[in-house]
Structures are given as C-alpha cells and as structure tokens.
Amino acid sequence: MARSSQRKWVTGYLIAVAAIFIIYQFLFPWEGLPIGIYDFLQLWLPPTAVNESLVYVICALGLNIVVGYAGLLDLGYVAFWAIGGYCAGWFMSEFFYQINLHFFGSVARTAPGIHVNFWGVLLIGGLVCAFFGILIGGPTLRLKSDYLAIVTLGFGEIIPQVFFNGDDIAGFNLSNGTKGITILDPIPVGAKNIGPFDFGYKFIIFVLLAALMVFISLRLRKGKLGRAWLAIREDELAASMMGVPLMQTKLSAYAVGAFAGGLGGVAFATHVDGVYAERFNFSISIFLLAMVVLGGMGNVWGVIIGALLLSWINSTGLPAFGTTFNDKFGTSINFPSFTFLLFGLVLILMMLYKREGLIPESRLRLILHEGDAEEDLTSKESK
Amino acid sequence: MALSTNNVLLASNISVQFGGLLAVNDVTFGIPEKSVVSLIGPNGAGKTTFFNVITGLYKPSSGTVNYDGTDTTDLPPHKIAALGMARTFQNIRLFGLMTAEENLLVAMHSHLKSGILATIVGTPSQRKEEKESLDRAREILDFVGIGKWAGEYARNLSYGDQRRLEVARALALNPKVLLLDEPTAGMNPQESQVFIDFVYKVRAERDVAILLIEHDMKVVMSVSERVTVLDQGEKIAEGTPDEIRSNQRVIEAYLGKAKGGK
C-alpha cells in the first residue's frame, strides 16, 4: 500500500528529473532547436528557475521536519538559509584574503582566501546551522507554540540584520554588508569543475541534495526519533509520560531541520554565485511555510510538489503569464507585484476548503476532517 | 494472599500545596511488590494530584518519592517513566493518529539505543533493534487481546480497545509499577467485569504491581488487596476491602456525617 505509492512517487520524480536534464543539457545548446520552442522554454521553464525551486525543495523538506513532523511552528527559517549561505561565502571564496587555506579546493593553491571543497562546505554549513538550531532552540523550545513562533520570528529577523550590518563588527568584516560576498569557487566533481552557468550539472547536484533530504526524512520518520516527533505532535504530556524526553526530541527536530536549511543555503549561494544579505528576508520564511502547508504537512512528496509549484509561480509562472497576457491584450499590468496577494488568497482558500494540503499525510487528513474520517481511511487503505 | 513487605514504590509524607489550597496533606503511601492496591476517595480528595506527584508531573511541596531504590522526587517525568513507572490516563490519551503498534513503540523509546545517524544509515544493529521492538509490541498487543488491530490508528479503535491499548502502551515500558487512573470510567458493568479479569491476568502474567484509582466500588473491592482512602487531601483509612467497607470515617466521607440526635 504505502510502499507501492512511494515507489510511484520516486518513479515520477525520476522521470521528471531525467526529462529536465535532457532539455537543459542537450536540447538547449542544440543548434537545430526551433527558435519558437527555445523561446517558449526560456519563458516558461528557464534553467535558473528550476534550480532555484530545488533550493526551496531542500529547505521546505527541512522545515517539514520541524513543522510537519514535530508540530513546532517556526517563522524564522530564513536564518538557517542565511547562515548556510554565508558558510559558502566564507569557506569557498577569496573573501578572507588575509588567510590562505586550501582544503581540496577547486581553485589554484596560490589563490588567497579559504577554499574548502564544495562537498565539505555543505557539511560545514549543515552542521553550523544545526548548532545554531540547538542554540536558539535550547532556551525557546520550552515555550508553548505561539510564543515559540514569535521567538523564531525574531531570530529570523536578527540573523539577516547581523549579516546586513556585519561589514564592521569592531573593525572586523564578517559579511561585507550590503555588497555581499561574490564569486564563489566552482563545484568540483571528479576532474571537472562546475561553474555558475553549468545549469544541467548543477541541477543534478541539487536534485541529489533534495533526494538526500527525502531519504533522511523518510528514514528518520520510520525510526525511533520520528515516532517520538509524531508522539509529541499528538500529545506532549502523554509522550513525556511514556519516557520521551521532550526537550531533547524537539531539539533534534530543530537541528535536523536547520541542517537542511544549511544545505539549502550553500546550494543557493552556488546557484546565484554569491551571498547577498538583502535576499534573506522574512518573506522566505513565510514562503517556505506556505510550501509545507500547501503541499501537505508531514508528507515529503506533497511538500516537494508544494515547493516546486510555489517557487515556480513566484519566479516564472506569474511574470511569464503577465508578459503573455499584456502582449495579447495590450495592457500593462504588473503581474509579479500581485504575488503576495495571490499567495495570501491561495492560503486562505486552502485553510477554508483543503486544510490538509494538496497531498496530505493520511494521518493529518483524519484530524482535519473529523466527520468523514472513517470512510476516508478505508478508501485510503484499500488502494 | 499476604502483601509483600517490600515496597516497590514508597511515597513518604507527601504534601502538595496550590497557593492556599493544600491538595495533598502529609500522605504516606507504599505499593508492595506485585500487589494490586487501590486509592479511592470522593471527588476532589487529591487522588489524581497524588498520582501526578508519583509520576513526576507535579513536584511535592514536601515529602519524597522513592521508586525501586531511586529517589525520584525531583526527576522529570520521562526519566521516571524510563525507570519503569507506567501510567494510563483518566481520559484516554493515546497518540490517536499513530497505529496501535506505533503507540507501543513510542513507549519503548527510552529502551532503544540507536542514534540519528544509525537510523538514517540503517545499520544492522538498528534494524535488529527495530525488529525486536516491533515483535515485542505485537506480543504485548496479543497479550492484551488487540493483536489484530496492530496496524490500525489508535483513534479508530473502540472505547474498550483504546483502554486496553493504553494498558498495552504502559506495559511496553516494561514497568514494575502500573498506575491505572480510573480505567473503567465510562464502562458498563459487563465491560467492567471484563476489565477486572484483565487486571488479574496482567498481574498474574507480568511481574508488575498495580495501583488503581477508581470510583467503581465493585471493581475496587473485587481486585484490591489493599485499599487506601483519601479525603480532602488526607489519608483517612487504609486496609483490606472488608475493613474499608465497615470503616466509619470512610462512610462519613462518602455519605456525610449523621447529624447528632436521631
């Protein structure tokens, strides 16, 4: 039952990945591609948008562990994204030119700065974020849900501000302030270096990272920790009375979620080939939360759909629709400026009519549709 | 049957004060090994408060709780539970959207050793541990008679089966003491009788002492080896069911004092 539907999801995603890779890697550079098709793809499915949406997938999967599995509302997830991004900025560029440190880096050994291998930076970014997750979670996770949400909100505001103003911390330049840190080292894969414009290969790398998060989510969900997270979401008091240590379990959810944020941050930095403080704003936290809610809290496959869909609408769908619409009817409506109106509307409608998300975890559907629960369950199980 | 003189749990001189209200006043209460003892009293007598002190949910204003040689007075609930003190709840508190067997696996949390990385990688020892705990969960579910519902969401079980599942979940902690908070609340006489037999079965086949908080006197008097009566936070009587039945203070606590004269 559950396993076969899982296999369907995996197969579906693999086909999509293969199709997109072929389009980027072979169809796009092909001279014989009719210009109409090229323009169409460039308008509706540009490579940058696809790669960016995968960064959102990675982060949304992390947030899903915190919000979907453990039931802790986190409104400041962008902080982890930012910390991960700056880890990439610090450890794979010439930013700290005073130091000359190379660790399997992808640039010449004479280059100044810290140059750690991309895969090493991923690990560093993830672990630093997990550390900050525990640091911020320690004092705040004792709070009840609403208060926790407010504190995380503050955390999500503070961290980007620190980076924004971090070009002169007692004379030390931590983040290069508004100018940001740019030109990152290419990603070494075997003997090849993948630069900022190798969309196809970067696409595969991001897919692998997302797949890693899916794997981690599913494995943890099935194990001891995942059960404890769900138990806490269901009934905190009963869980503690059954020997589940609340703080430790919530902290681990926070740490794993933050780890994913770190991966996403590093990936995003390589995607835009730089780190800019003004890009880490509050709306990203809300955006990610909307992806988790829209897709279906607690269901990784749904969350992926939610992340891809919202990210695509935001970066491509709405502007492309606007351009087409304006061309056709000779209007000059600024469609992208309605993004948040649209998302707000979608979320309100979702909460009114489909609170469990597009592809819900079967358990959650039961809570939200008390009345028709029985019928729902039997139809689900018999599939 | 004579009660063992070894107390597996001993709460000494427990007092609990909520602001100006003295909810429990200097109560000493022991649970002998492998016994079935009951705690009764009118509403508001402090039974549940006392229960919550034993399980670590409340800290007593004074007094100590000693469980199996460990002073548990200041331990958090999950540590006390991990030591082997298990409880059920007056109003059922299962993990409704987890399956019956998952409910039991949650209770085994403190016994499982695999860490995060071992779980992600799926090391052989982690797999073995998961399989063993799943087997044990199924065995306990069979023992309480709801083995066929192992894969069903807890909330979909019938009321009686949910009560059984709560006991099963408590047993999954491998407890030395099982605390049942009004287990027959909401049951009709037949169901209560089935439950009494079930308590006997648990006591006979698992090495566990049972403390019962109960309103149903038929249940209390038929299963208990010793009954303790609380009234307004104080222990007013303790003895065998027969002694309690004829105890003047107990009758007064439940029915009120006869006004002097007639």
Q: Under a CB-based contact definition with an 8 Å cutoff, are residues B29 and B237 in contact?
A: no
Provide the shortest C-alpha distance from residue B210 to chain A (in Å). 17
Name the closest residue on chain B to residue A376, using Cα atoms: B156
Which one of A134, A212, A219, A224 makes the best mutation probe of the B interface by having the most chain B beta carbons within 10 Å?
A224
pLDDT tens across A297-356, in order?
888 888 999 999 999 988 888 888 888 888 888 888 888 888 888 888 887 888 788 777
User: Which residue, chain included where needed, has tokens 């409910």?
Assistant: B103
The 10 Å Cβ neighbour count of residue A18 is 10
Q: Determine the Cα–Cα distance for residues B137 and B130; give it in Å rounded to an integer.
A: 10
What is the reported pLDDT for A369? 55
Chain A residues whose CB is inside 8 A of the B130 CB are 223-224
**Number of A–B residue contacts, CB under 8 Å:** 99
User: Across the interface, do B102 and A243 touch by the CB < 8 Å criterion?
Assistant: no
Q: Average pLDDT of A107-136?
A: 90
So where are chain A's domains? Answer: 2-23+48-382
pLDDT tens across B201-220, in order?
888 888 899 999 988 888 88
Q: Average pLDDT of B50-78?
A: 91
User: Which residue, chain included where needed, has tokens 């087409």?
Assistant: A324
Rounded alpha-carbon distances, angstroms, from residue A156 to A136, A246, A273, A334:
11, 24, 23, 29
Query: What CATH number should be reported for the domain whose range is A2-23+48-382?
Result: 1.10.3470
Q: Which residues are registered as beta bridge partners of B67?
A: B9, B70
What is the reported pLDDT for A381? 42
**Torsion, Cα of B91, B97, B98, B104 (10° steps):** 0
Burial level of A296, CB count in 10 A (0-12/13-18/19+)? buried
What is the reported pLDDT for A228? 95
Is the model's pLDDT at A194 over the cut of 90? no
**Facing residue for A242 by CB, picked from B122, B130, B169:** B169
pLDDT band at A255 (very low <50, low <70, confident <90, very high): very high
**Facing residue for B93 by CB, picked from A219, A223, A235:** A235
Q: Which strands, in side-by-side order, build the sheet including B7-18?
A: B21-32, B7-18, B62-67, B70-71
pLDDT tens across A7-59, in order?
888 888 899 999 888 888 888 888 878 888 888 888 888 888 999 999 999 99
Which domains are present in chain B?
7-84+176-262 (3.40.50.300), 98-174 (no CATH)
Among the residues of chain B, which ranges form H helices?
A: 47-54, 77-83, 100-107, 116-121, 124-144, 159-171, 189-205, 217-223, 241-245, 248-255
Q: Determine the Cα–Cα distance for residues B79 and A344; give it in Å rounded to an integer.
A: 44
What is the reported pLDDT for A368? 57
Which one of B52, B95, B134 makes the best mutation probe of the A interface by having the most chain A beta carbons within 10 Å?
B95
What is the reported pLDDT for A226? 93
Q: Determine the Cα–Cα distance for residues A315 and A54; give it in Å rounded to an integer.
A: 12
**Tokens found for residue A267:** 């990936």
Is the model's pLDDT at A378 over the cut of 70? no
Name the closest residue on chain A to residue B157, using Cα atoms: A374
**Facing residue for A223 by CB, picked from B87, B114, B169:** B114
Chain A residues whose CB is inside 8 A of the B94 CB are 235, 238
User: Across the interface, do B130 and A223 touch by the CB < 8 Å criterion?
Assistant: yes
Q: Average pLDDT of A270-286?
A: 89
Q: Which letter does DSSP use for residue B176 in this model?
A: S
Q: Determine the Cα–Cα distance for residues B31 and B22; give it in Å rounded to an integer.
A: 23
Q: How far apart are the first and last CA of chain A?
A: 6
User: Across the interface, do A223 and B119 touch by the CB < 8 Å criterion?
Assistant: yes
Q: Which residues are registered as beta bridge partners of A188?
A: A193
